[in-house]
């Protein structure tokens, strides 16, 4: 307390009080005595401030007018303060003369001291404000790049069939964990339309996004995209465009990192590196989004899309609705026959919106049934000649073809057009044909060749030029097929690539030979042709497809003038019983398919086919006579398929199939180039010879054991070296039982060598001593199991031990099989199909009611 009182007394001393009063009086008197000088200083300071403002405004105008920048808020606020202060300073200057005239005693006093004091104080304070404002008017950056607007509306026609897909994508965009969305699909399917709809929807929903639309295109470069993106955010001057890509990326990043943006990239063909562009990667923190369209599914993976959305062709109801809108009611209702004809025309578009729109508009003026019938004829036979198809639709689709990675892949794609419209193309068959044509690496092993073939199919699927049709098949969209045929008809190709394709055209006779002269490939699959006669001149012909006809006669001179033919397919001609000796003239032939025919005998002259690499004879059950030394003469043979070839009881002498195929196996051992074999074995001695041949065992993919009455025990372990085996059958082996050979199988599993890894299809028919198939536990990737007439069979491997893909169980005439090997964990099984007799199904014993109910939709009753 004492200390406090002492301090208080010191600060209140007379000298201190006097000094403080003098200082205050001195300060206040200066407001009057120095008024003239303060006014001069204010005038000078404000003039300097005005000059600084004008200099700054010139910089701002250059940035805004020439560089399309926006002035910074801090700059605008400073300018506004200067402009506001100008009026205040001017007001003070207007009072200058009046206030100065009040001064007296040489300016040291005033006749109205209080008025002069107040004025002088205001001038002094304003000078301090001007000085302070001047010090704050130094700006290194006066303006910034900004996006041109939150959303620029895109022109968009009414959409049909995209509503559900749009809703899905919009939900994805609103999910915090989704930053990048890829929309993929074939050309003309509506990807850009969907992207425009997404763009415009941002106008209708409250948000703080800046939406940027950039068309990337097929021949884009990084700098081209940066220039377009730069224009969208204000960098439009030529000087900026001359900057290098790294500088541009830094500028773009500097703008976008301060914004929540949606970047819409249309027509992306390859990965766009967002980081190199300068685009901040979308994440949960910045909340930005990137959506792009592409024709290539693999681009979605390369762009690390969080959601990959396929834009598919329209279902029929949507297709028909869109087509009706394009044609209009006037044309559709003018004649009662036109609506049904219009549906036929619409179906030719196969759900592709671009084709539906183009063809629909072209038909809007067609008001007679005759015109509509003609349109159907043109679309079926030569779609490229239809109005709008050759100059609008097909060229657009051709970009996908042009963008394929190599001429090899392009050739493989065009080859698919040889198959009929809507045809299911088996993948392995397609790869075999590509091998025959020389499209694939010739000297690789079968795994290498198959892998390359599957890789090319994958490329075409990802490019949306082929479509998956189940696990093992692909197909070509109708309009894509039209595009392929348009290409090979001469557009952008040489005549060496021209095709003659008339599949499923109800032909009963061959097309006129005049058309055969220049083409390189002919496909007449799926017709009603009965005879091949005459001698067509075909100097360039490489491929001839005649499968699925009604052939019963081939004259010997038909193949006389086909000096380059390398692929011939005569399969699925059941009435073809006589083999033309003229085929022996095809010395360049490398691929011959005679499977599923009625041919009875191989002529000896076929030994002339010294270049033959692939021979298919499977299920030609009448082919009993194959003379010795014919098969072994095909020294270059790589692929041979002879499953179920020839009758079961062969008695014809001098045939390699005599004696249960033992002589056949002996000849096969001479084929040193063989890489893929499918063969039936019909005797114990043939089976023993087969197992003793490492070459045959190592290349066998399909093995049927048929009518081995002398075989009582089959050691499963004896087949462990068949590493390529994918199809296995035991048929009519009535006394056969299976001996697992457990020790060797177990050793294979322990060492990691594995066994039967590729085996996907197992068939057991008419084997009355087999009681269980539990050995299938060693077949981890089994897809199809067919069991028929195995009266003692009681048990099958538990289904949960099988693969997790598409699976099929077929059971017939197995009365003792009372329980299916399936538990209530059926939810783990995908695409399960069970086929059998309805009486067998009704007598099955179930683990529980839930399992029975779960399996009921999978059951398909077999007809007796």
pLDDT at position 24 is 44
Q: What is the CATH number of domain 391-490?
A: 1.10.10.10
Please name the residue that has the structure tokens 């606020």.
Answer: 77
Residue 110 burial class via C-beta count within 10 angstroms: exposed 0-12, middle 13-18, buried 19 and up: buried
CATH class of 494-599: alpha beta
pLDDT digits (tens, 9 = 90+) for 606-644: 999 999 999 999 999 999 899 989 999 999 999 999 999
* CB-CB contact of 126 with 42 (8 Å): yes
Q: Report the alpha-carbon distance of residue 532 to residue 553 in Å, rounded.
A: 6
Q: What is the pLDDT of residue 33?
A: 56
Three-state SS at 125: helix
Please provide residue 209's backbone torsions phi and psi, each rounded to the nearest 5 degrees: -85, 145
In this structure, what are the phi and psi dihedrals at residue 819, rounded to the nearest 5 degrees?
-140, 130
CA 190 to chain centre: 15
Name residue 592's beta-bridge partners. 568, 615
Given this model, what pLDDT does residue 858 score?
A: 84
Residues of the chain with pLDDT below 70 are 1-37, 66-68, 95-117, 145-149, 443-444, 491-497, 648-653, 740-754, 797-806, 821-831, 864
Q: How far apart are CA 70 and CA 171, in angstroms?
A: 34
* Alpha carbons 656 and 528: distance in angstroms, whole number: 34
Two tokens at 728? 């296995």
What is the H or E stretch that residue 640 is in?
strand 639-642
What's the CATH fold of domain 316-381? Answer: Helicase, Ruva Protein; domain 3 (1.10.8)
CATH number for 163-310 (one of 3.30.1330.10, 3.90.180.10, 3.40.50.300, 3.30.750.200): it is 3.40.50.300
Q: Give 162-185 pLDDT, tens digit per residue.
A: 999 999 999 999 999 999 999 999
Strands (DSSP E) found in 590-633: 591-593, 614-616
354 vs 320: CA distance, rounded Å: 13
For residue 223, what are the contacts with CB-CB under 8 A and spacing of at least 6?
245, 248
Show Cβ contacts of residue 184 under 8 Å, excluding neighbours closer than 6 positions. Answer: 191, 293, 294, 295, 296, 297, 299, 300, 308, 309, 310, 311, 464
How many CA atoms are closer than 13 Å to the CA of 373, on its beta-carbon side? 5
Strands 143-144 and 70-71: antiparallel
H-helix segments, 95-190? 96-100, 113-135, 163-173
DSSP strands (E only) in 462-552: 467-468, 473-475, 499-501, 521-523, 531-532, 543-545
Q: What is the 8-class DSSP label of residue 523?
A: E
Please give the span between the terminal C-alpha atoms of the chain, in angstroms, as a whole number: 119
pLDDT at 96: 62
Query: Residues for the chain: how many in total?
Result: 864
Domain locations in the chain?
21-144, 163-310, 316-381, 391-490, 494-599
What are residue 268's DSSP bridge partners?
Answer: 294
At 473 the pLDDT is: 93
Residue 554 is predicted with a pLDDT of 94
Task: Name the nearest CA neighbour of 707 among 758, 639, 644, 790.
Answer: 644
């Amino acid at each position: 307390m004492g200390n406090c009182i002492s301090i208080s007394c010191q600060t209140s001393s007379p000298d201190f009080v006097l000094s403080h009063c003098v200082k205050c009086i001195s300060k206040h008197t200066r407001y009057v005595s120095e008024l003239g000088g303060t006014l001069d200083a204010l005038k000078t300071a404000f003039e300097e401030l005005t000059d600084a403002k004008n200099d700054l405004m010139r910089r701002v105008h250059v940035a805004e007018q020439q560089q399309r920048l926006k002035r910074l808020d801090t700059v605008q606020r400073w300018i506004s303060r200067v402009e506001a202060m100008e009026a205040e300073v001017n007001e003070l200057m207007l009072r200058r003369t009046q206030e100065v005239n009040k001064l007296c005693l040489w300016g040291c006093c005033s006749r109205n001291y209080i008025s002069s004091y107040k004025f002088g104080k205001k001038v002094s304070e304003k000078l301090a404000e001007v000085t302070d404002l001047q010090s704050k008017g130094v700006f290194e950056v006066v303006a910034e790049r900004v996006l041109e607007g939150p959303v620029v509306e895109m022109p968009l026609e009414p959409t049909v069939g995209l509503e559900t897909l749009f809703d899905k994508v919009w939900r994805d965009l609103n999910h915090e964990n989704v930053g990048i969305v890829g929309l993929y699909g074939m050309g003309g399917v509506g990807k850009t339309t969907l992207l425009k709809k997404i763009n415009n929807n941002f106008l209708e929903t409250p948000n703080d996004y800046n939406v940027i639309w950039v068309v990337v295109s097929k021949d884009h470069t990084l700098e081209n995209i940066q220039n377009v993106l730069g224009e969208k955010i204000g960098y439009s001057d030529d000087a900026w465009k001359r900057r290098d890509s790294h500088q541009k990326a830094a500028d773009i990043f500097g703008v976008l990192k301060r914004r929540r943006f949606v970047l819409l990239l249309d027509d992306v063909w390859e990965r766009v590196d967002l980081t190199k562009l300068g685009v901040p990667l979308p994440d949960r923190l910045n909340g930005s989004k990137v959506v792009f369209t592409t024709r290539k599914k693999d681009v979605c993976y390369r762009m690390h899309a969080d959601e990959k959305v396929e834009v598919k062709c329209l279902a029929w109801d949507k297709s028909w609705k869109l087509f009706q809108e394009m044609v209009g009611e006037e044309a559709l209702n003018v004649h009662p026959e036109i609506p049904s004809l219009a549906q036929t025309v619409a179906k030719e578009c196969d759900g592709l919106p671009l084709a539906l729109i183009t063809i629909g508009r072209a038909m809007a003026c067609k008001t007679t049934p005759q015109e509509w019938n003609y349109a159907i004829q043109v679309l079926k036979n030569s779609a490229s000649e239809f109005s709008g198809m050759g100059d609008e639709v097909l060229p657009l689709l051709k970009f996908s073809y042009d963008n394929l990675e190599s001429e090899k892949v392009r050739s493989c794609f065009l080859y698919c057009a040889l198959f009929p419209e809507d045809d299911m193309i088996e993948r392995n068959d397609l790869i075999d044909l590509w091998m025959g044509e020389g499209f694939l690496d010739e000297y690789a092993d079968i795994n290498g060749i198959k892998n390359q073939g599957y890789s090319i199919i994958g490329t075409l699927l990802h490019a949306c030029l082929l479509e998956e049709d189940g696990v093992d098949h692909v197909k070509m969209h109708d309009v894509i097929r039209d595009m392929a045929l348009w290409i090979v008809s001469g557009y952008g190709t040489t005549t060496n690539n021209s095709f003659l394709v008339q599949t499923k055209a109800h032909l009963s006779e061959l097309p006129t030979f005049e058309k055969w002269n220049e083409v390189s490939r002919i496909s007449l699959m799926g017709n009603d042709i009965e005879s091949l006669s005459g001698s067509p001149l075909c100097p360039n012909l490489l491929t001839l497809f005649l499968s699925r006809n009604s052939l019963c006669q081939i004259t010997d001179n038909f193949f006389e003038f086909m000096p380059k033919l390398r692929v011939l397919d005569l399969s699925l001609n059941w009435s073809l019983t006589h083999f033309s000796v003229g085929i022996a003239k095809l010395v360049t032939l490398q691929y011959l398919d005679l499977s599923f025919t009625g041919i009875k005998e191989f002529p000896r002259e076929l030994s002339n086919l010294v270049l033959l690499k692939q021979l298919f004879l499977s299920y030609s059950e009448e082919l009993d006579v194959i003379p010795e030394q014919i098969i072994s003469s095909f020294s270059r043979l790589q692929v041979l398929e002879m499953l179920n070839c020839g009758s079961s009881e062969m008695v014809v002498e001098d045939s390699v199939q005599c004696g249960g195929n033992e002589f056949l196996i002996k000849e096969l051992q001479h084929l040193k180039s063989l890489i893929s074999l499918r063969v039936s074995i019909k005797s114990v001695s043939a089976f023993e010879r087969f197992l003793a041949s490492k070459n045959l065992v190592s290349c066998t993919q399909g093995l049927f054991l048929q009518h081995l009455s002398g075989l009582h025990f089959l050691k499963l372990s004896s087949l462990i070296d068949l590493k390529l085996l994918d199809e296995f059958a035991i048929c009519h082996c009535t006394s056969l039982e299976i001996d697992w050979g457990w020790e060797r199988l177990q050793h294979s599993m322990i060492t990691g060598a594995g066994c039967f890894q590729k085996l996907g299809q197992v068939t057991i028919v008419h084997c009355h001593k087999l009681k269980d198939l539990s050995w299938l536990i060693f077949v981890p990737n089994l897809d199809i199991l067919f069991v028929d007439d195995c009266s003692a069979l009681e048990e099958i491997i538990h289904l949960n031990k099988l693969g997790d893909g598409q699976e099929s169980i077929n059971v017939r005439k197995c009365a003792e099989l009372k329980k299916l090997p399936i538990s209530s964990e059926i939810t783990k099984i995908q695409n399960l199909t069970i086929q059998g007799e309805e009486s067998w199904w009704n007598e099955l014993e179930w683990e529980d009611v839930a399992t029975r109910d779960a399996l009921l939709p999978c059951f398909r009753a077999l007809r007796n």
